[in-house]
Amino acid sequence: MARNSTSEFKAVILAGGSGERFWPLSTPERPKQFLKVFGGESLIRQAVSRLKGLVEPENVFVVTSKSLLKATKRELPELPSANIVGEPMRRDTGAAIALSVGLCGGGTMGVFSSDQLVGDVKGFQAAVKKAVAVAAKQDKIVTLGIKPSAPSTAFGYVDPKTGRFVEKPDLAKAKAYLKKGFLWNAGMFIGRVDTFRSAFAAHAPDLLPLCGGVKMNRLSATYEPLPKISFDFAVMEALSREGGVDVVPGDFGWDDVGGYLAFDRYYPHDADGNVVDGDCTVVESSGSICVSKGPRVAVLGASDLVVVATKDAVLVVPKSKAGELKKIVAKG
Amino acid sequence: MARNSTSEFKAVILAGGSGERFWPLSTPERPKQFLKVFGGESLIRQAVSRLKGLVEPENVFVVTSKSLLKATKRELPELPSANIVGEPMRRDTGAAIALSVGLCGGGTMGVFSSDQLVGDVKGFQAAVKKAVAVAAKQDKIVTLGIKPSAPSTAFGYVDPKTGRFVEKPDLAKAKAYLKKGFLWNAGMFIGRVDTFRSAFAAHAPDLLPLCGGVKMNRLSATYEPLPKISFDFAVMEALSREGGVDVVPGDFGWDDVGGYLAFDRYYPHDADGNVVDGDCTVVESSGSICVSKGPRVAVLGASDLVVVATKDAVLVVPKSKAGELKKIVAKG
Predicted pLDDT of residue A36: 94
| A315 touches B: beta carbon within 8 Å | yes
| Residue A328 pLDDT level (bands cut at 50, 70, 90) | very high
Report whether A102 contacts A85 (CB < 8 A): no
CB pair distance less than 8 Å for A298 and B315: yes
| A308 touches B: beta carbon within 8 Å | no
Predicted pLDDT of residue B28: 87
Residues of A within 8 A of B325 (CB-CB) are 300
Helices B92-104, B193-203: inter-axial angle, 10-degree rounding = 140
Strands A296-300 and B84-87: unpaired
CB pair distance less than 8 Å for B314 and A309: yes
Tens of pLDDT, residue by residue over A43-76, are 999 999 999 999 999 999 999 999 999 999 999 9
Strands A289-292 and A275-277: parallel
Mean pLDDT of the A93-119 span: 96
Q: Is the pLDDT of residue B176 over 70?
A: yes
pTM of the predicted protein model: 0.90
For chain A, the distance separating the N- and C-terminal CA atoms, rounded to the nearest angstrom, is 56
Residue A331 identity: K
Report whether A153 contacts A170 (CB < 8 A): yes
Predicted pLDDT of residue A18: 76
Mean pLDDT of the A12-17 span: 92
Report the distance separating Cα B185 and Cα B273, nearest Å. 31
Nearest partner of B10 among B75, B77, B56, judged by Cα: B56
Tens of pLDDT, residue by residue over B115-149, are 999 999 999 999 999 999 999 999 999 999 999 99
Task: Please provide residue A168's backbone torsions phi and psi, each rounded to the nearest 5 degrees.
Answer: -50, 120
Q: Which residues pair with A86 in a beta bridge?
A: A64
Q: Is the pLDDT of residue A267 over 80?
A: yes
Report the distance separating Cα A123 and Cα A132, nearest Å. 14
Mean pLDDT of the A248-268 span: 95
Give the domain ranges of chain B.
9-255, 262-329
Mean pLDDT of the B167-195 span: 97
Predicted pLDDT of residue B55: 96
| B275 touches A: beta carbon within 8 Å | no
Strands B164-166 and B157-159: antiparallel
What residues contact B15, with CB distance under 8 A and at least 6 apart?
B33, B44, B47, B62, B63, B64, B68, B72, B114, B115
Average pLDDT, chain B: 94
Mean pLDDT of the A82-89 span: 96
Predicted pLDDT of residue B331: 65
CA B44 vs CA A292, B166, B283: distances in Å: 34, 28, 35
Of residues A254 and B18, the one with the higher pLDDT is A254
Closest Cβ–Cβ partner in B298, B314, B327 for A295: B314
Q: Taking the CB of residue B286, how many other CB atoms lie within 10 A of it?
A: 16
Q: Is the pLDDT of residue B224 over 90?
A: yes
Q: Is the pLDDT of residue A11 over 80?
A: yes
Report the distance separating Cα A72 and Cα B6, nearest Å. 75
Mean pLDDT of the A135-151 span: 96
SS3 assignment, position A271:
coil
CB pair distance less than 8 Å for A298 and B331: yes
Tens of pLDDT, residue by residue over B62-76, are 999 999 999 999 999
**DSSP H/E element including A122:** helix A121-136
Q: Is the pLDDT of residue A277 over 60?
A: yes
Mean pLDDT of the A182-190 span: 97
| A270 touches B: beta carbon within 8 Å | no
Nearest partner of A18 among A312, A306, A259, A309, judged by Cα: A259
Predicted pLDDT of residue A190: 98
Q: Is the pLDDT of residue A2 over 60?
A: no
Closest Cβ–Cβ partner in B298, B312, B321 for A301: B321
Please report, rounded to a whole number, the percentage of residues in chain B having pLDDT higher than 90.
Answer: 90
Among chain B residues, the shortest Cα distance to A321 is held by B301
Q: Is the pLDDT of residue A6 over 50?
A: no
CB pair distance less than 8 Å for B328 and A297: no
Among chain B residues, the shortest Cα distance to A332 is held by B281
Chain B nearest-CA distance from A146, in A, is 32
Range A65-104 burial, b when 16+ CB lie within 10 A, else e: beebbebbbebbeebeeebbbbbeeebbbbbbbbbbbbbb
Q: Dihedral sign for Cα B152, B154, B155, B156, please.
A: positive
CA A30 vs CA A26, A37, A72, A313, B198: distances in Å: 5, 13, 10, 14, 70
What residues contact B159, with CB distance under 8 A and at least 6 apart?
B166, B180, B181, B182, B247
Mean pLDDT of the A132-146 span: 96
Mean pLDDT of the B85-101 span: 96
CB pair distance less than 8 Å for A316 and B300: yes
CB pair distance less than 8 Å for B324 and A301: yes
Q: Is the pLDDT of residue B220 over 90?
A: yes
Complex ipTM value: 0.89
Among chain B residues, the shortest Cα distance to A283 is held by B328
Count, residues in chain B: 332
SS3 assignment, position B92:
helix
Q: What is the homologous superfamily of the domain B9-255 according to CATH?
A: Spore Coat Polysaccharide Biosynthesis Protein SpsA; Chain A (3.90.550.10)
Report the distance separating Cα B52 and Cα B125, nearest Å. 9
SS3 assignment, position B233:
helix
Nearest partner of B49 among B102, B7, B13, judged by Cα: B13
Mean pLDDT of the A75-86 span: 97
